[in-house]
Amino acid sequence: MESLWDQSCANSLNGDLLLERVYTSRLLGQETDLVLHGGGNTSVKAEIKNFFGDLEEVLYIKGSGWDLSTIESAGFAPVRLTVLQRLAELTSLSDSEMVREQRAAMLDPYAPNPSVEAILHAIIPYRFVDHTHADAVVTLTNNSEGLARVKEVYGEQVLIIPYVMPGFILAREIRNLTKDVDWHKYQGMILMNHGIFSFADDAKTAYERMIYLVTLAEEYLVKQNAVQFAEATGQTDLLTLSKIRQAVSQVKGTAMIAQLDQRAEAVGFANLPNISNIATRGPVTPDHVIRTKPIPVIFPSDQQADVTQAVNQYAENYHQYFLRNNPGDLKELDLSPRWGIWPGYGTLSFDQTLSSAQIITDIIEHTLRAIQMGEKLGGWQALSEKDLFDMEYWELEQAKLGKSANTPELRGKIAVVTGAASGIGKACVEVLAKQGAVVVGLDMNPAISEIFNKPGLVGIQANILDEKAIQEAIALTVQKFGGLDILVSNAGIFPASETIENLSQDTWEKSLNVNLSSQRSLLQSAIPFLKQGIDPTIIFIGSRNVLAPGPGAAAYSVAKAGLTQLARVAALELAADGIRVNTIHPDCVYDTGIWTADILASRAERYGLTVDEYKSRNLLKQPVTSQEVAQMVAAMAGKLFGKTTGCQLPIDGGNERVI
C-alpha cells in the first residue's frame, strides 16, 4: 500500500493540527482496503481556547455518522481529554452512560456524537491516533493461527490485543493491559478480529505507520500465495431474481432493493464448492455485522430449487440464533437476510435504499477476498456467534430501533415510467423518486439518458413501438434493482385535429399504435415481474377525452378509450396476483411540451377566450400541473389506494360533461 502523503498539501495547512487531522483522515478514507463506509476512526489531541479564553486540552475525535473519506473539521467532536481519561478508570460504564458523559464533555454542544472509541483514543499517549479495519490485517487475525501469524509479521513493533467488544470495555481492557507498557516502543496496535491502530505525535508519521504496518501484512499474504481469487461468469435468471427479492421483502415486511453483483470475483466466490461453509463463518470485522448480519442466505445451486424456501429457512435460523443468544430483554431485529450467495449467478445485497444496498455490496467485495485469503492461510475463522450477536444487538444499536425518521412511502419500490423525458412522465419520475422509489424512465428521446442519470434514477432510450427495446428496458430494470413494483404507462401522442370525414389512415393508425397497441406489449413484458412485486400496481395515464370526447379527436379518443378498457380487463385478470390497475384521466394540463405558446394562443382564439381563460376551462377554474398529476400517480402507487383497482380517476379541475 502506497503512502498518499503530499508534502505541498500538508504545508498549506500551516501546522493547524485539526486540519492536518482532516487531511490524513481523508487519505485513509480514500483507501477502501483500509476502511469502508463510515468504518475506522481518527483523533488528534490539541489545546484549544474555550469561550472564556482559557486553554483546555481536548481530543478531537471523529464524530459518528461521518465518513473518513469526506470528513471535515466539523466532523470531529472536541471532547475534554481529562474527562475521557477519567472515564477509562471506571470499572463499568454502560454504552448509554458513555454517550451521555462524552456529549456532556464536549466543548461544542452542536458537534456530532464522538466515536465509541473516543475513550480508547484518549488513553493512547500520542497526539495523532489512526484506526482502520485494514483487510490485510484482519485477514491475518481471522485465522486459526492468527496470533502466531501476527507475531511472525510484526515481531515487537506492535501491541497485540485479544478481541474485546468495541466501546468502553475495549478501552478499559487496553488500559489494564498497558499499565506497565512503554508505548513509545510501539508503532501501532493490532486488535485481533477487529483492526489496527497506528499512532505518533505528528500526522505524517501516524499515517505512514498505518501504511507501513498494513503493507507488512499485505506482503506477507502475497508471500504465502494467499492473494488469489476465484473468477467466473454469471448466468441470468431475472424471474428468479425478482422472486428472491420478493421473498426477502416479505420477510422484512417492506420493499427492498436487491442488488445482484455479477462481477467475475463475485460469481467465482458464489461458485466455490464449499461456499455454504466458508461464507457462513462470520464477517471480516465486527462492525460490518450491523449492515450485513452475521451470515448471508445461501441459495441452492439447483435451478429448480425453491428460493422462497431458502429465505424462509434463513428467517427461521436467524430467529433461533436470536433465541440462543438473547440474554432476556433484547428486541429482535427483522429476520430477513442482508446479503446472499447465489451459486451460478453471483452475490446479492438487500436493503431498503439503493445506497445502503451498495454499501453492503462494497462490504461483500472485500469480505469475499478476505475469506479466500483466510482459507489459503489455513482456514478463515471469524468471531464467535456470541461475539457477533453482542455487536449486532449492542445497547447503542438497540436504542436506535423504532426511532427511525419518517421514511418516504415508496422507499425500496422499483418503478418504470414511459414517456419520461418531459411533461407528466418526467414529473412522475421525479415525484416517485422523491417518495423513495428507484425509477427507470423510458422515452424515445435520446436525451432521456442524460435527463435521468444518477444512482437510482435511470433514463433509457426506447420507442414504445419497439417491442424488443421495451422488453430489454424492463429486463434491465430487474437486473439493476431486483424487480418491478410500479408501472406508469404515460407515453402517448396527441395527433392534430381531423374530423372523421377527413381523418387520414396515417393519423388513425399512428394514434392507435402508440396510444393503445403498444400498451399490450408493455404489459406483456412487465406482468411476469409485477406478479413478483411488492404491492404491485399499474397506472395508466388516460385522458378526459375518454369520458368527454371532443370533435376532431377521434383517433386520440378512441385509442384512449381502448386503453381504459385494456386497464379494466387487466384489473380483472391481475387482481388474483395482487396487482392493482387504475387509470388517471388528466385534463387542462398545459405545462407539457406539446402546449407551446403558439398552440395555446390559437386554441384560445378558436374558443374566443384569452390564454388564461382557456387554461382554466373547468369548473374549479384552475389549470392542472404535470406535478399535480404526478402526485396523484404516486398516491395511487401507495397505501392510500391500496384497496383500489379498476378505477378511473379524473384530475381535470372538474368537467361538467364528465360529472
Q: In this chain, which stretch among 25-33, 150-158, 176-184, 190-198 interacts with Zn ion, using CB under 5 A?
A: 190-198
Neighbour tally for 590: CB within 10 Å: 17
Of residues 39 and 623, the one with the C-beta less far from Zn ion: 39
Joined grid coordinates for residue 450: 442524460
- DSSP letters of 485-503? -EEEE-----PPPB-GGG-
Closest CA relative to residue 365, chosen from 270, 258, 253, 436:
270
- DSSP letters of 445-509? STTHHHHSEETTEEEEE--TT-HHHHHHHHHHHHHHHS---EEEE-----PPPB-GGG--HHHHH
Q: In this chain, which stretch among 77-85, 187-195, 510-518, 548-556 interacts with Zn ion, using CB under 5 A?
A: 187-195
Of residues 48 and 396, the one with the C-beta less far from Zn ion: 396
Write the interaction track for Zn ion spanning residues 573-612; mark x where CB under 5 A is met and - where it is not: ----------------------------------------
Q: In this chain, which stretch among 194-202, 266-274, 398-406, 448-456 interacts with Zn ion, using CB under 5 A?
A: 194-202
Q: In this chain, which stretch among 58-66, 188-196, 491-499, 645-653 interacts with Zn ion, using CB under 5 A?
A: 188-196
CB of 132 to Zn ion, least distance (A): 8
3-class SS of residue 574: helix
CB of 133 to Zn ion, least distance (A): 6
CB of 164 to Zn ion, least distance (A): 11
Largest CA distance in the chain: 102
> Active-site residue among 163, 556, 590, 614?
556
Spatial CB neighbours of 136, under 8 Å, sequence gap ≥ 6: 33, 214, 217, 218, 220, 221
> Cell 441470468 appears where?
236
The CB-nearest residue to Zn ion is 195
Q: Catalytic: 23? A: no
CB of 306 to Zn ion, least distance (A): 39
CB 533 within 8 A of CB 579: yes
CA distance 347 to 343: 8
189: β partners: 159, 197
CB 26 within 8 A of CB 205: no
Of residues 29 and 195, the one with the C-beta less far from Zn ion: 195
CB of 193 to Zn ion, least distance (A): 11
Of residues 164 and 278, the one with the C-beta less far from Zn ion: 164
Of residues 161 and 514, the one with the C-beta less far from Zn ion: 161
Write the interaction track for Zn ion spanning residues 139-178; mark x where CB under 5 A is met and - where it is not: ----------------------------------------
Residue among 195, 296, 340, 495 that touches Zn ion (CB under 5 A): 195
Q: How many residues bind Zn ion (CB under 5 A)?
A: 1
Of residues 244 and 388, the one with the C-beta less far from Zn ion: 388
283 binds Zn ion (CB under 5 A): no
- DSSP letters of 324-372? HH--SSPPPPP---SEEEETTTEEEEEESSHHHHHHHHHHHHHHHHHHH
Neighbour tally for 60: CB within 10 Å: 26
CB of 232 to Zn ion, least distance (A): 33
Of residues 65 and 253, the one with the C-beta less far from Zn ion: 65
Joined grid coordinates for residue 152: 511472525
Helices 385-392, 307-325: axis angle to 10 degrees equals 90
Q: In this chain, which stretch among 13-21, 193-201, 525-533, 566-574 interacts with Zn ion, using CB under 5 A?
A: 193-201
CB of 283 to Zn ion, least distance (A): 12
CB of 41 to Zn ion, least distance (A): 7
CA distances from 6 to 20, 132, 200, 218, 333 (A): 12, 20, 18, 23, 45
CB 421 within 8 A of CB 450: no
Give the 3-state secondary structure of 591-635. Answer: CCCCCCHHHHHHHHHHCCCCHHHHHCCCCCCCCECHHHHHHHHHH
Of residues 190 and 267, the one with the C-beta less far from Zn ion: 190
Q: Torsion-angle region of residue 504: left (phi > 0), alpha (psi -120 to 50) or beta?
A: beta
Q: In this chain, which stretch among 56-64, 83-91, 191-199, 513-521 interacts with Zn ion, using CB under 5 A?
A: 191-199
CB of 222 to Zn ion, least distance (A): 25
Burial of 398 (0-12, 13-18, 19+ CB in 10 A): middle
Catalytic residues, by residue number, are: 556
Q: Which residues bind Zn ion (CB under 5 A)?
A: 195
